[in-house]
C-alpha cells in the first residue's frame, strides 16, 4: 500500500512531463486557452448585442398602452419570445449539434459555428437579464424623461439603460462565467479549444489525468481572477452611489 | 391654451375620470384639489399624455394632441412637469439633469444650456449644487432642481403633480416660494396639491374633484369662502 503510493508518486513526474512539456505541449494548452477566451468574449459580445435588442423590443412592447399597440412590435415581440423560449428550453449541446450538423453541415470552421451557437444561446439569457434590469429602474425615471420631450430611445439611452447597467452587472458576470465554461462544449463539434487539446493529448499519451486536471485548474484560475475583478468593479460603482 | 373635451379615463373597469371638460387659459393658475383617489393626478397626467385618455379630446394651442398621429415628444417639450417624487436622474449631475433635454431635443447647444442652467439655479438659490449628484441634495433642493429642469425647456405651461407631498414639512415652504415666483412671472400653471394656503394665495381658479368629476370650480375666495357642494364642504372641513 505504502509502496504503491511511492510508485505512483515516482511515475507522476514523467506523466506530467509527457502531458505538458514533451514536444512543447504546453503551447497547445495556451493556444486552447486563447481560443476559449476568444470564444467566450466574442460570444458574449454577440450575446449582449442580441440580448439588448431582444430586451428593448420586449420592454418597448410591454410598455405600450392598450389600444395603441404597434403591430410590427407585436410580431417582433412574438419572435423574441419564441427565441428565448426555444433557446432556454433546449440543451446547449443539442443546439450546438443542430448548428453543426443541421444548419451548417458543410462549414469546416467549427470555431465559427461555435461562436454562433454560443452567442445565440447566450443572447437568450442576456435578454432576460437586461429585461430584468430595465424593469428594475423606477417608472418615474422614464416618465420624467418623456415629460421633458425626450424620445423613447433617448430616454432609454441616457436615463434608463445607464441605471439598469449597475443592476445588471452581477448577473452579467455570472453569464460570462457560465459561457466561459460552456465553451468546452465546442470540443464535441470539433472546435479546437482547451478541452479539445487536453483530450487529444490525453489520447496520444494514453494518460488523461494530467491534461484534464491541468485544464480544470486553468478554468478555475480564470474564473477566480474574473470574479475578483468583477467584485472590484461593483464596489467602485457602488461607491459612486454614495457620492 | 388647453381645451379638454369630454375626457374619460378608465383603468380596466374602474372609471377614474368621468367626462371632464375644461379650458385652461394662458396665464391662468389652475389649482386642483380633492380627496385622494378623486382622479386629480390622472387628470393632470392626461394633459401631457403620460396617461392616454380612454375617451375625449385634448387640444393644446390648436393641436389635437390626443390624435395618434401627433408627435407627442414635440408637444411635451412645451409642457413642463414636476412630479411628487422629483424623479431626478440619479446617474447625472444636477447640471446634466437640467441640460440633457434642451440639448438632446435640439433646443440649444451645450454651452447655451449650461449658461441657462447656471442662471436658473441661481434663481432658486442652488448655484453651488450644479456639480452635485441628486443623492447629495435634500428633498426641497431636489424639487427645486426638478422645477428648474422643467423650466429649462422653456415650456408654455407647467404641470405640478403634488409637488410638496413627499417633502418634510420644513421644506415645503422653499418649494412653494419658487412656485409662487413662477406664478408672478406669468407662467400658466396647473397644480394638483393639498396645500390649501397655496391654492388660496396663488390660484386664479380652483377645481374641486371627487369621483372622477369636477364637482365645483371657481375663484379661491368662493371655493374656500362659500362652498356649495356638500362634498366640498365635507372635504374642506377635514383639511382646513
Q: Sign of dihedral through CA atoms A223, A228, A234, A236?
A: negative
Q: Do B31 and B202 touch, CB atoms closer than 8 A?
A: yes
Closest CA to B124 of B104, B144, B143, B106: B144
Chain B residues close to A242, C-beta within 8 Å? 135
Q: How far apart are CA A10 and CA A19, in angstroms?
A: 15
Q: How far apart are CA A234 and CA A218, in angstroms?
A: 24
B100 and A68 in contact by Cβ < 8 A? no
- Cα–Cα distances (Å) from B191 to B5, B40, B174, in that order, read 19, 9, 16
Between positions 61 and 100 of A, the ones with CB within 8 A of B are: 65, 67-68
Mean pLDDT, rounded, for A47-76: 85
Q: Which chain B residue has its CA at the smallest distance from A141's CA?
A: B87
Does residue A237 register a pLDDT over 80? no
Q: How far is B73 from chain A (nearest CA, A)?
A: 4
* Gap between the terminal Cα atoms of chain B: 32
Residue A242, burial from CB neighbour count under 10 angstroms (0-12, 13-18, 19+): exposed
Chain B residues close to A67, C-beta within 8 Å? 52
The predicted-structure confidence for B22-49, as pLDDT tens digits, reads as follows 999 999 999 999 998 899 999 999 999 9
Cell numbers found for residue B66: 390626443
- Which three-class secondary structure string do you get for chain B? CEEEEEEEEEECCEEEEEEEEEEECCCCEEEEECCCCCCHHHHHHHHCCCCCCCEEEEEECCEECCCCCCCHHHHHCCEEEECCCCCCCCCCCHHHHHHHHHHHCCCCCHHHHHHHHHHHHHHCCCHHHCCCCHHHCCHHHHHHHHHHHHHCCCCCEEEEECCCCCCCHHHHHHHHHHHHHHHHCCCEEEEECCCHHHHHHHCCEEEEEECCEEEEEECHHHHHHCCCCHHHHHHHHHHC
B105 and A141 in contact by Cβ < 8 A? no
The predicted-structure confidence for B103-140, as pLDDT tens digits, reads as follows 999 999 999 999 999 999 999 999 999 999 999 999 99
Between positions 36 and 95 of B, the ones with CB within 8 A of A are: 48, 50, 52, 68, 73-81, 83, 85, 87-92
Which one of A67, A144, A152, A158 would you mutate to disrupt binding with B, by most B Cβ within 10 Å of its Cβ? A144
Q: Which of B79, B80, B87 sits opposite A141 (nearest CB)?
A: B87
Across chain B, what does the average pLDDT equal?
A: 93
Q: Do A234 and A169 touch, CB atoms closer than 8 A?
A: yes
Does residue B193 register a pLDDT over 90? yes
Q: How far is B34 from chain A (nearest CA, A)?
A: 23
Between positions 144 and 183 of A, the ones with CB within 8 A of B are: 144-151, 154, 158-159, 162-163
Q: Sign of dihedral through CA atoms B155, B156, B157, B163?
A: positive
B133 and A243 in contact by Cβ < 8 A? yes
Mean pLDDT, rounded, for A75-97: 95
Mean pLDDT, rounded, for A96-114: 93
Within 13 Å, how many C-alpha atoms sit on residue B189's CB side? 32
Q: How far apart are CA B237 and CA A79, in angstroms?
A: 57
Does residue B233 register a pLDDT over 80? yes
Q: Which band of pLDDT confidence, cut at 50, 70 and 90, is reported for residue A65?
A: low
Does the beta carbon of A138 lie under 8 angstroms from any beta carbon of chain B?
yes
Q: Which of B68, B85, B135 sits opposite A68 (nearest CB)?
A: B68
Does the beta carbon of B226 lie under 8 angstroms from any beta carbon of chain A?
no
Q: Which band of pLDDT confidence, cut at 50, 70 and 90, is reported for residue A181?
A: very high
Q: Which band of pLDDT confidence, cut at 50, 70 and 90, is reported for residue A16?
A: confident
Q: Which band of pLDDT confidence, cut at 50, 70 and 90, is reported for residue B83?
A: very high
pLDDT at A239: 67
pLDDT at A22: 83
The predicted-structure confidence for B222-232, as pLDDT tens digits, reads as follows 999 999 999 99
Cell numbers found for residue B41: 393626478
Does the beta carbon of B153 lie under 8 angstroms from any beta carbon of chain A?
yes
Radius of gyration, alpha carbons of chain A: 23
Within 13 Å, how many C-alpha atoms sit on residue B102's CB side? 24
Q: How far apart are CA A47 and CA A186, in angstroms?
A: 16
Q: Which of B48, B89, B149 sits opposite A141 (nearest CB)?
A: B89
Cell numbers found for residue B50: 403620460
pLDDT at B81: 96
Query: Domains plus CATH for chain A?
Result: 23-242 (1.10.3720.10)
The predicted-structure confidence for A124-176, as pLDDT tens digits, reads as follows 999 999 999 999 999 999 999 999 999 988 999 999 999 998 889 889 999 99
B135 and A242 in contact by Cβ < 8 A? yes
* pTM value surpassing 0.90: no
pLDDT at A69: 74
Does the beta carbon of B110 lie under 8 angstroms from any beta carbon of chain A?
no
Percentage of the residues of chain A whose pLDDT score is greater than 90: 60
pLDDT at A67: 61
A149 and B73 in contact by Cβ < 8 A? yes
Chain A residues close to B48, C-beta within 8 Å? 147
User: Do β-strands B157-161 and B29-33 pair in parallel, antiparallel, or remain unpaired?
Assistant: unpaired
The predicted-structure confidence for B133-175, as pLDDT tens digits, reads as follows 999 999 999 999 999 999 999 999 999 999 999 999 999 999 9
pLDDT at A241: 62
Beta carbons within 8 Å of B78's beta carbon, 6+ residues apart: A149, B60, B61, B153, B155, B156, B157
Q: Which chain B residue has its CA at the smallest distance from A146's CA?
A: B73
Closest CA to A224 of A177, A184, A162, A175: A177
Lowest mean pLDDT among A31-40, A68-77, B178-187: A68-77
B101 and A150 in contact by Cβ < 8 A? yes
Q: Which of A67, A147, A242 sits opposite B81 (nearest CB)?
A: A147
The predicted-structure confidence for B41-81, as pLDDT tens digits, reads as follows 999 999 999 998 999 999 999 999 998 888 999 999 999 99
Q: Do B180 and B144 touch, CB atoms closer than 8 A?
A: no
Q: How far apart are CA B158 and CA B47, in angstroms?
A: 11
Q: How far apart are CA B22 and CA B58, in angstroms?
A: 9
Query: Which residue in this structure is represented by grid cell 483530450?
Result: A199
Amino acid at each position: 500500500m505504502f509502496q504503491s503510493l511511492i510508485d505512483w508518486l515516482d511515475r507522476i513526474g514523467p506523466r506530467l512531463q509527457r502531458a505538458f512539456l514533451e514536444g512543447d505541449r504546453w503551447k497547445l494548452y495556451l493556444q486552447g486557452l486563447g481560443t476559449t477566451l476568444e470564444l467566450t468574449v466574442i460570444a458574449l459580445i454577440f450575446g449582449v448585442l442580441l440580448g439588448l435588442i431582444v430586451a428593448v423590443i420586449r420592454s418597448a412592447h410591454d410598455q405600450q398602452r392598450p389600444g395603441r399597440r404597434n403591430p410590427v412590435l407585436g410580431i417582433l415581440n412574438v419572435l423574441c419570445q419564441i427565441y428565448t423560449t426555444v433557446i432556454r428550453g433546449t440543451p446547449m449541446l443539442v443546439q450546438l449539434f443542430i448548428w453543426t450538423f443541421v444548419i451548417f453541415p458543410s462549414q469546416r470552421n467549427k470555431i465559427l459555428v461555435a461562436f454562433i451557437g454560443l452567442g445565440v444561446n447566450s443572447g437568450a439569457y442576456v435578454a432576460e437579464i437586461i429585461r430584468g434590469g430595465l424593469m428594475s429602474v423606477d417608472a418615474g425615471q422614464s416618465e420624467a424623461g418623456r415629460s421633458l420631450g425626450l424620445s423613447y430611445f433617448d430616454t432609454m439611452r441616457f436615463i434608463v439603460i445607464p441605471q439598469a447597467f449597475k443592476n445588471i452587472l452581477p448577473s452579467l458576470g455570472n453569464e460570462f462565467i457560465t459561457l466561459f465554461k460552456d465553451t468546452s462544449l465546442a470540443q464535441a463539434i470539433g472546435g479546437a479549444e482547451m478541452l479539445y487539446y487536453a483530450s487529444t493529448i490525453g489520447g496520444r499519451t494514453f494518460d488523461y489525468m494530467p491534461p484534464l486536471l491541468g485544464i480544470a485548474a486553468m478554468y478555475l484560475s480564470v474564473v477566480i481572477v474574473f470574479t475578483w475583478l468583477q467584485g472590484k468593479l461593483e464596489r467602485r460603482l457602488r461607491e459612486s452611489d454614495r457620492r | 391654451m388647453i381645451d379638454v373635451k369630454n375626457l374619460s379615463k378608465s383603468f380596466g373597469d374602474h372609471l377614474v375620470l368621468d367626462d371632464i371638460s375644461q379650458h385652461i387659459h394662458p396665464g391662468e393658475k389652475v389649482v386642483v384639489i380633492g380627496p385622494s383617489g378623486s382622479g386629480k393626478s390622472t387628470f393632470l397626467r392626461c394633459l401631457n399624455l403620460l396617461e392616454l385618455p380612454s375617451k375625449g379630446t385634448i387640444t393644446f394651442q390648436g393641436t389635437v394632441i390626443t390624435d395618434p398621429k401627433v408627435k407627442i415628444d414635440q408637444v411635451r417639450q412645451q409642457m413642463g412637469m414636476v412630479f411628487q417624487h422629483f424623479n431626478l436622474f440619479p446617474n447625472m449631475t444636477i447640471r446634466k439633469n437640467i441640460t440633457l433635454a434642451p440639448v438632446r431635443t435640439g433646443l440649444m447647444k451645450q454651452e447655451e444650456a449650461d449658461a441657462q442652467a447656471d442662471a436658473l439655479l441661481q434663481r432658486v438659490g442652488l448655484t453651488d449644487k450644479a456639480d452635485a449628484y441628486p443623492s447629495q441634495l435634500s428633498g426641497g433642493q431636489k424639487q427645486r432642481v426638478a422645477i428648474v429642469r422643467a423650466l429649462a425647456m422653456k415650456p408654455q405651461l407647467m404641470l405640478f403633480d403634488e409637488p410638496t407631498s413627499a417633502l418634510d414639512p420644513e421644506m415645503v415652504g422653499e418649494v412653494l416660494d419658487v412656485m409662487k415666483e413662477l406664478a408672478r412671472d406669468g407662467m400658466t400653471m396647473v397644480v394638483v396639491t393639498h396645500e390649501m394656503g397655496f391654492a388660496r394665495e396663488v390660484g386664479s381658479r380652483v377645481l374641486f374633484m371627487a369621483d372622477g368629476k369636477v364637482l365645483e370650480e371657481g375663484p379661491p375666495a368662493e371655493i374656500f369662502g362659500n362652498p356649495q357642494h356638500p362634498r366640498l364642504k365635507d372635504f374642506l372641513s377635514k383639511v382646513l
